[in-house]
Amino acid sequence: MRTKTYDVVVVGGGTAGVVAAVQAGRAGARTLLVEKHGMLGGTMTVGGINYPASFFAEGRPIIAGIGWELVRRTLEETGQVLPEPKNAPRHIRVDAVIFAALVDEAVLAAGVEPLFHALPASATLTDKGWKLQLCTKTGLQSVWARVLVDASGDANLVRLAGFETVGSDVVQPATLSFGCSGYDPNTLDYEALKAAADAAVAAGEILRTDVSWREDGPRALLLKHGHNANHIRAPNAETSEGKTQVEIEGRRSLLRLYRFLRRQPGLEGFRFDWVCPETAVRETVRIRGKTIITASDYESGRQFPDAVCYAHYPIDEHLNDGRGIHARPLRPGVLPTIPRGALLPAGSRFLIAAGRSVSSDREANSALRVEAPCMAMGQAAGALAALSAKTGLDPEEIPMGDLRALLRMHGAIVPEQKNLQGEVAISGE
């Protein structure tokens, strides 16, 4: 069988990867999108976190382009009212099933070739470009690519290609989302339930984090019928071994919760209606990029000269001990940027990373990882990859003007360099 050749191969069809692939395809690049699941959307669909933040900040849109187009099309399809910029909520809930189906359509319409149930096994840069080996259901397959985009969230491809990643001894907990019913939330005694949960924690029957992120018992979980309700420890979740452990811990947590709740008055009929096929992971490793975004860069709203998009979210570290979140909002008027250099692994050529693994310190990453910035990074990565494949220039050598022009042509909001008054223009809105 002839080895297929692509301009761009995107690994990971999640929040960032689908936007990267659609952008590369629309820019005319022959693009392959490799995804280990059978559904696109990643944490937004398979992980059950279908409420992307932050397309808007301080009353104006800060992220648009292909990511917003996919969200907007989902809202329109499901008859939801589009938010007004001046009072848009930080999180915008979308129907995950419709979002995934519309993403399939957008990927195919852009001429992108999707390949599901496949993962990369090796990546080698040769004189002829990248040689990528893929594990497919029928064995190993090789493909060639001019440029690779790692949108796995875990920098899996960057590591396979031999470049450094950075992690921490302690990582934020993950969440196994579920839906539940079989009770009337209006008739429950939440004080008594909290006392029962405290006693069950003390007796070692449940973990505090099985019922809540915080020290407030199962109230929120029961009122919201599940969803993003628990915390699961998630060390080394960028590896198959670590991820296996996380998935088993997630289901153990659900089993403890089930046994505990069914003993409580009013919850005898408690049942799970659905559970996500994968535990959603907040933190694994980041790439060591040509630029590393620090918390100080982020919180001071540093305007990088090679900025490709904005981001806007509090520093948001979820704690492992059930005490909730360590959150630090941005000061009013601060609008951080993400530079191209944070998408390029140090020492690499023709390799780009987008999404949660963006080069950043832990604190900055806890804010940069939310979905709208991941989509914006994906669009920047897709545009950069398409330009690199077309010109033969390394992504770092692509003139910023060309990158900005292509992104704007596809609807993105791209930060400008400061003008003489020190103001930063927002264009492309």
Ligand X SMILES: Cc1cc2nc3c(=O)[nH]c(=O)nc-3n(C[C@H](O)[C@H](O)[C@H](O)COP(=O)(O)OP(=O)(O)OC[C@H]3O[C@@H](n4cnc5c(N)ncnc54)[C@H](O)[C@@H]3O)c2cc1C
Rule CB under 6 A: which residues touch ligand X? 11-17, 34-37, 42-44, 47, 49, 51-53, 91, 119-120, 151-154, 156, 174-175, 228, 280-282, 355-356, 369-371, 374
**Is 92 or 307 the residue whose CB approaches ligand X more closely?**
92
Q: What's the closest the beta carbon of residue 121 comes to ligand X, in angstroms?
A: 10
Q: What's the closest the beta carbon of residue 389 comes to ligand X, in angstroms?
A: 20
Q: What's the closest the beta carbon of residue 283 comes to ligand X, in angstroms?
A: 8
**Is 99 or 260 the residue whose CB approaches ligand X more closely?**
99
Q: What's the closest the beta carbon of residue 293 comes to ligand X, in angstroms?
A: 15
Q: What's the closest the beta carbon of residue 138 comes to ligand X, in angstroms?
A: 16
**Is 42 or 341 the residue whose CB approaches ligand X more closely?**
42
Q: What's the closest the beta carbon of residue 131 comes to ligand X, in angstroms?
A: 17
**Is 8 or 34 the residue whose CB approaches ligand X more closely?**
34
161, 183, 289, 350 from 346: Cα distances, Å: 12, 53, 5, 11
**Is 75 or 119 the residue whose CB approaches ligand X more closely?**
119
**Is 306 or 371 the residue whose CB approaches ligand X more closely?**
371
**Is 119 or 285 the residue whose CB approaches ligand X more closely?**
119
What does the H/E/C string look like for the chain?
A: CCCEEEEEEEECCCHHHHHHHHHHHHCCCCEEEEECCCCCCHHHCCCCCCCCCCCEECCEECCCHHHHHHHHHHHHHCCCCCCCHHHCCCCCCCCHHHHHHHHHHHHHHCCCEEEECCEEEEEEEECCEEEEEEEECCEEEEEEEEEEEECCCCCHHHHHCCCCEECCCCCCCEECCEEEECCCHHHCCHHHHHHHHHHHHHCCCCCHHHHCCCCCCCHHHHHCCEECCCCECCCCCCCHHHHHHHHHHHHHHHHHHHHHHCCCCCCCCCEEEEECCCCECCCCCEECECCCECHHHHHHCCCCCCEEEECCCCEEEECCCCCCEEEECCCCCCCCEEEHHHHCECCCCCEEECCCCCCECHHHHHHHCCHHHHHHHHHHHHHHHHHHHHHCCCHHHCCHHHHHHHHHHCCCCEEEEECCCCCEEEECC
**Is 21 or 403 the residue whose CB approaches ligand X more closely?**
21
Q: What's the closest the beta carbon of residue 221 comes to ligand X, in angstroms?
A: 14
Q: What's the closest the beta carbon of residue 148 comes to ligand X, in angstroms?
A: 12
Residue nearest to ligand X (CB): 14
The contacts of residue 99 (CB under 8 Å, 6+ apart) are 41, 44, 45, 50, 70, 71, 74
**Cβ 140 vs Cβ 335: under 8 Å:** no
**Is 34 or 197 the residue whose CB approaches ligand X more closely?**
34
Q: What's the closest the beta carbon of residue 397 comes to ligand X, in angstroms?
A: 25
